[in-house]
């Protein structure tokens, strides 16, 4: 990051990103409109971190407006009850309760927690990512469910939920990690029936950037929630170190960013992607802050953030636009990933960029 940007520059960018979307949408109209969805959850999670850093009421109120539109006074709300994605927005129910004392938020949290009782599972009790994706575990799922369940375990005295989260991560590293590179494939099909699945391993064939970002972000967030406990999270620290080492080795030297398909930057049809780059900056910045990785990684996040600002961000006095964001994506083959459309200000990317900015801001203080 250029010296003239200053240590507060990432916070300024995070606030501009928040306000850009706040000025574009009422909270209830965040896309997909009037729906409980992880797209909004990721963006609002980033905004929550901005509220923590600034204490500005407008951010908390915007978050509250989204949840209050969807959740009634009895804690009832409509959500998809057959997919891990539905759980992710639940992470903000806890600070909403802490700030307001309104019990409806905890009632809603209990309903989300029960989803993991009924969602289908592999023969090893790994959560299917969605019931419509039979016998498939996706990296994304650890971020969608892991931090929420970890936080929930404290609120409702269910320590076994922490072991469930650790076990799900163990299954992912067992089935999705390439032991030679340390990289993780996007998805695994236990039955090896999907068109993309490797007939021997069941893995999808590619290392998709944002799915890797979700996995790493889940680990760093879970570790933060487990601070002060001794519940076997040491394995997460080791997996995080392996993950970061692998990601660093594939950072584009010229731009500081990462590719849509992480390990195939040499392909002409591959392209640099902003949401995964943001997530890696978030993960490594927080790992540096906690002392999980050596200080040499500081240059990695500086180069990455500078690359985002230079190559992906358009900023004016009042607006920040983020380009190069891959839209929502399923599991597939190389051609599928690189042909996915890119968008501007998609909530995947804006949320990830805000998280990256706040994590770097915290690190620089």
Catalytic residues: 140
Q: Which residue has the tokens 């889940």?
A: 218
Identify the CA nearest to 313 among candidates 359, 360, 247, 255.
Answer: 255
Q: Which residue has the tokens 């039979």?
A: 134
183, 212 contact by CB (below 8 A): yes
> What are 24's two structure tokens?
């574009």
Residue 108 to residue 105: CA distance in whole angstroms: 5
260, 337 contact by CB (below 8 A): yes
172, 228 contact by CB (below 8 A): no
What are the φ/ψ torsions at residue 194 (nearest 5 degrees)? -70, 150
Residue 38 to residue 343: CA distance in whole angstroms: 17
> What are 163's two structure tokens?
């072991």
Identify the CA nearest to 354 among candidates 207, 346, 146.
Answer: 346
The length of the chain is 365
DSSP conformation letters of 203-251: B-S--BHHHHHHHHHHHHHHHHHTTT--SSTHHHHHHHHHHHHHHHHTS
The DSSP call for residue 128 is P
Sign of torsion over alpha carbons 63, 69, 74, 75 = negative
191, 135 contact by CB (below 8 A): yes
Q: Which residue has the tokens 């970061």?
A: 244
Beta 320-322 vs 187-189: how paired, if at all? unpaired
- Give the alpha-carbon dihedral of 180, 256, 236, 194, to 10 degrees: -60
């Amino acid at each position: 990051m250029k010296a003239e940007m200053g240590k507060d520059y990432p916070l300024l960018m995070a606030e501009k990103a928040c306000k850009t979307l706040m000025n574009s949408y009422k909270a209830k109209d965040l896309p997909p409109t009037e729906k409980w969805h992880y797209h909004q959850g990721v963006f609002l999670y980033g905004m929550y971190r901005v509220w923590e850093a600034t204490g500005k009421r407008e951010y908390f109120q915007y978050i509250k407006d989204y949840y209050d539109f969807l959740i009634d006074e009895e804690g009832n709300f409509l959500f998809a009850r057959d997919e891990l994605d539905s759980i992710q927005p639940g992470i903000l129910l806890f600070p909403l309760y802490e700030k307001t004392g309104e019990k409806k938020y905890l009632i809603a949290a209990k309903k989300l927690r029960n989803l993991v009782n009924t969602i289908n599972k592999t023969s090893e009790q790994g959560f299917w990512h969605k019931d419509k994706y039979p016998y498939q575990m996706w990296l994304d799922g650890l971020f969608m469910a892991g931090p929420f369940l970890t936080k929930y375990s404290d609120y409702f005295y269910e320590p076994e939920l922490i072991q469930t989260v650790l076990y799900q991560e163990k299954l992912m590293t067992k089935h999705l990690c390439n032991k030679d590179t340390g990289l993780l494939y996007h998805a695994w099909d236990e039955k090896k029936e999907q068109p993309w699945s490797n007939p021997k391993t069941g893995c999808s064939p590619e290392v998709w950037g944002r799915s890797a970002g979700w996995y790493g972000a889940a680990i760093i967030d879970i570790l933060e929630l487990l601070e002060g406990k001794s519940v076997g999270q040491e394995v997460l620290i080791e997996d995080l170190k392996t993950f970061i080492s692998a990601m660093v080795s594939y950072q584009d030297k010229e731009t500081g960013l990462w590719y849509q398909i992480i390990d195939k930057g040499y392909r002409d049809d591959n392209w640099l992607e902003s949401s995964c780059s943001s997530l890696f900056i978030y993960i490594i910045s927080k790992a540096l802050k906690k002392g999980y990785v050596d200080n040499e990684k500081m240059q990695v996040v500086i180069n990455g953030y500078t690359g985002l600002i230079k190559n992906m961000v358009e900023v004016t006095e009042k607006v920040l636009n983020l380009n190069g964001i891959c839209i929502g994506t399923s599991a597939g083959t190389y051609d599928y990933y690189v042909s996915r459309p890119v968008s501007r200000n998609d909530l995947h990317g804006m949320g990830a960029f805000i998280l990256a900015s706040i994590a770097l801001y915290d690190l620089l203080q």
